[in-house]
Structure 1
Amino acid sequence: MRTKDGFACCYNVQTAVDRTSHLIAEYEVTNNCTDPNSLARMAKKAKETLGTETIHVGADKGYDDQDEIKKCILGGIIPHVGFKTDKTERLLLMAYEEATITEEDRASTNPEDIQRCLKAGILPKFYEHTILDIEVQEQDQISCFTRNKDDTVTCPMGYIFTRVRTHKGGSACYQNRLACRQCPNRCTSGKNYKVVKFGPNTRYVPVLMYGKTLNELQEYPSSETPYNAFKLLERQTKKKVILHIRDDIPTQKLRLCLSEHPFGTVKWYHGAHYRL
């Protein structure tokens, strides 16, 4: 496996431990030097081994990867993963797909039915009263980005963006990845963070916001005239689905007792008491 000192004769052992019996339900030996890309695969294998249609999975923040967490949720797996950069909740963005959802669809544990429910902005029954909440946001509020005298930009929600690129002619791009990751209101139809571009003489960049906010949005000055592309966006009705995943400290503490227990037992059995 590749290490900080080059390649070495060592391996990365992934295990999924059953909460009821404290036995290892599934394991895998790899030479991957990181853990994030193992979460969904190991959770799915453990679910199949235990013969259950849905499952809760606890993992430390080393497994914090939005794509892997999204795969889990779409497959009937609730991921209780430690937060690496988020604070009180993790936000996942999904494209909205209109669909007629019945109570039978909501009660189903089939991954295809779960995905249909989530993309329509409806929470499946298995996900009720858990760490998950869902919200459908519509693009219906106008606000703006404002360039400040200190060459920073204030976004509609009040976060500060800094300059990341300068182009010929004096135009510049600004961004704040962490702020976008934690922002409960979207200002872009894309899945990634917002990159806003200002011309050399531009002070305000208008934007249409998704969702309702408790914060007071920046007001776009009435004296400004939005450019043509922005006016076209005003005539479009767009929706986004936002998944809210709350932090779960008790499960994180429980994970310590579960995931480490089998290794302590193995070491003790082989007389390696000093390695517990």
Structure 2
Amino acid sequence: KDNNFTLNKLDDRIARLEAHERQYLEDLEKNDFDDERKLGRDETELNLEVVQKRQADYKEYRNQLEESGEKQLSLTDPDSKLMKFNDGFNVGYNVQTAVEADSHLIATYNVTTNPTDHGEITETLTEAKNDLEHEIVEVVADKGYQDPKDMANALAAGIIPNVIQRDGDDVAEVEFEYVEATVTDDMLNSKKPENLETCLKAGKIPTAYAGILDSPQIGVRKSYECTASSNIKEMSDEELKQLALQGYFVRDAAKNLVYCPQGSILRQKSLKKDGRIRYCNKLACKKCSHKCTKAAFKEADFNKDTLVMKAQNYKVDSSNHQEDQEPPKTKMKREVKEHKIVTYKLHLDKKKMAQRMCLSEHPFGTMKRTLGAYYFLLKTKVKVEAEMALICLSYNMRRAISMLGVPQLIAKMA
């Protein structure tokens, strides 16, 4: 984990190193005979050199991330990512498996760097569906896979997603972009992905999904595109920071970051469903006593057209700044766009969803306990995929031997 960096972590370390650098420079300016100095000149100069070297390295890492648009940089394995594990956070990969319900054999696997399971159903199950040569497959997954867009893509690909809902309901809503088309009986009765997608986008329920989908509704979804013009855009980094110190969250749209009233940098954490961008910096907020947002950490939500926002319950030091100074005005032009959509009610099979843990957890338990595969030995995604292939093959061989016995397995493979 020490060799994995996020933009927030780099911002925090650079700020600390800059503080150390200032302290060492002040120490060097003191008289050599000053008894208050804690370190000798040679030791101070050595520490200063180390601090400046680390600072240069961290700034280079930060530039790499900002230029590439990536959120993390891992030095040990450049493809791995920091993500949540059962015992906390660690650096690694997210492995998806598709387990066949009757035999508990692994039909396919997928090694990803996505720290969550959102959006992984269609990609993982499409390969399994093609390998098994099934026209329609049904999948059960836990609530971590709940993603309406991914569920819609799965249905269009011939995959029925029984995904546990966070509210415990057995009905989910899926949405498609409406595309008017002439749908024939042959297309309705077809199980080919291209015909399934055409029917679903046209508001027609394919025969394969009878009783699974119902209540098609064609409607309109509005989206808003805003363009903003403000003298904030012409401000330098230092001017933006000075404005933030007056009690505002100031967003630099070009760099996609926010300066907080304490001078810390907040980086993008997530994109909300309503289009707002959430910025956060947990490392800085742990050391901050100001409650400038309602959240436990400084989470500031900005619309695309918002560049400055007043901090809540924040008192400015009147000796340094003008309290309650009005922020620069932002002129906005708003354009409304309408999209025709079609929505369906997707009925989930609760009985099948209840079997999920008995299916998906069994292979992982065997891999870790019996095969000793608690972690990957290789580095980079292509090698980890090969290692995972060997692990899955080993598991499937052991499972097949357990089910059939060696003589019968050899006979079937002959």
Q: Do the structures match in fold with TM over 0.5? A: yes
- 1:44 maps to 2:145: no
Q: Deviations over 1:236-275 (max 9, x none)?
A: xx97522101243212111111111222333453489xxx
Q: Deviations over 1:72-112 (max 9, x none)?
A: 01111111111125744221233433333222111111211
- Alpha-carbon deviation of 1:56? 0.6
Contact 1:60–1:81 (CA<8 Å) still a contact in 2? Answer: yes
Partner of 2:56: none
1:241 corresponds to which of 336, 342, 358: 342
SS at match of 1:36: coil
- 1:58 maps to 2:148: no
- 1:133 maps to 2:133: no
What is the Cα-based RMSD across aligned positions, in Å? 3.3
AA aligned opposite 1:92: V
Higher relative contact order (CA 8 A, sep 6+): 1
Contact 2:203–2:218 (CA<8 Å) still a contact in 1? Answer: no
- 1:252 maps to 2:353: yes
Contact 2:129–2:135 (CA<8 Å) still a contact in 1? Answer: yes
Partner of 1:91: 173
2: CA distance, partners of 1:60 / 1:2: 22
Partner of 2:195: 113
Q: Percent identity?
A: 40
Pair 35,138 (structure 1): closer, same or farther in 2 beyond 3 Å = closer
Consecutive unaligned residues in structure 1, runs of 5 or more: 140-176, 179-237
Contact 1:118–1:124 (CA<8 Å) still a contact in 2? Answer: yes
Pair 240,24 (structure 1): closer, same or farther in 2 beyond 3 Å = same
1:2 corresponds to which of 69, 76, 82: 82
Q: Deviations over 1:12-59 (max 9, x none)?
A: 221000113210001122332111121110011111121212111111
1: CA distance, partners of 2:161 / 2:204: 18
Partner of 2:159: 77
Partner of 1:262: 363
Q: Give the aligned length.
A: 178
Pair 136,27 (structure 1): closer, same or farther in 2 beyond 3 Å = same
Contact 1:123–1:134 (CA<8 Å) still a contact in 2? Answer: no
1: CA distance, partners of 2:167 / 2:187: 34
AA aligned opposite 2:83: T
Q: Deviations over 1:197-239 (max 9, x none)?
A: xxxxxxxxxxxxxxxxxxxxxxxxxxxxxxxxxxxxxxxxx97
Contact 2:83–2:91 (CA<8 Å) still a contact in 1? Answer: no
Partner of 1:214: none
Contact 2:109–2:124 (CA<8 Å) still a contact in 1? Answer: yes
AA aligned opposite 1:261: H
- Structure number having the greater strand percentage: 1
1: CA distance, partners of 2:370 / 2:219: 59
SS at match of 1:91: strand
1:31 corresponds to which of 113, 124, 130: 113
SS at match of 2:161: strand
Q: Deviations over 1:179-207 (max 9, x none)?
A: xxxxxxxxxxxxxxxxxxxxxxxxxxxxx
2: CA distance, partners of 1:247 / 1:93: 16
Contact 2:139–2:162 (CA<8 Å) still a contact in 1? Answer: yes
How high is the TM-score relative to the length of structure 2?
A: 0.38
- Structure number having the greater helix percentage: 2
SS at match of 1:14: strand
Matches within 5 A, 1:210-221: none
How high is the TM-score relative to the length of structure 1?
A: 0.56
SS at match of 1:8: strand
Contact 1:2–1:8 (CA<8 Å) still a contact in 2? Answer: yes
Contact 2:170–2:348 (CA<8 Å) still a contact in 1? Answer: yes
SS at match of 2:102: coil
Contact 2:156–2:196 (CA<8 Å) still a contact in 1? Answer: yes
Consecutive unaligned residues in structure 2, runs of 5 or more: 1-80, 221-272, 275-338, 374-414
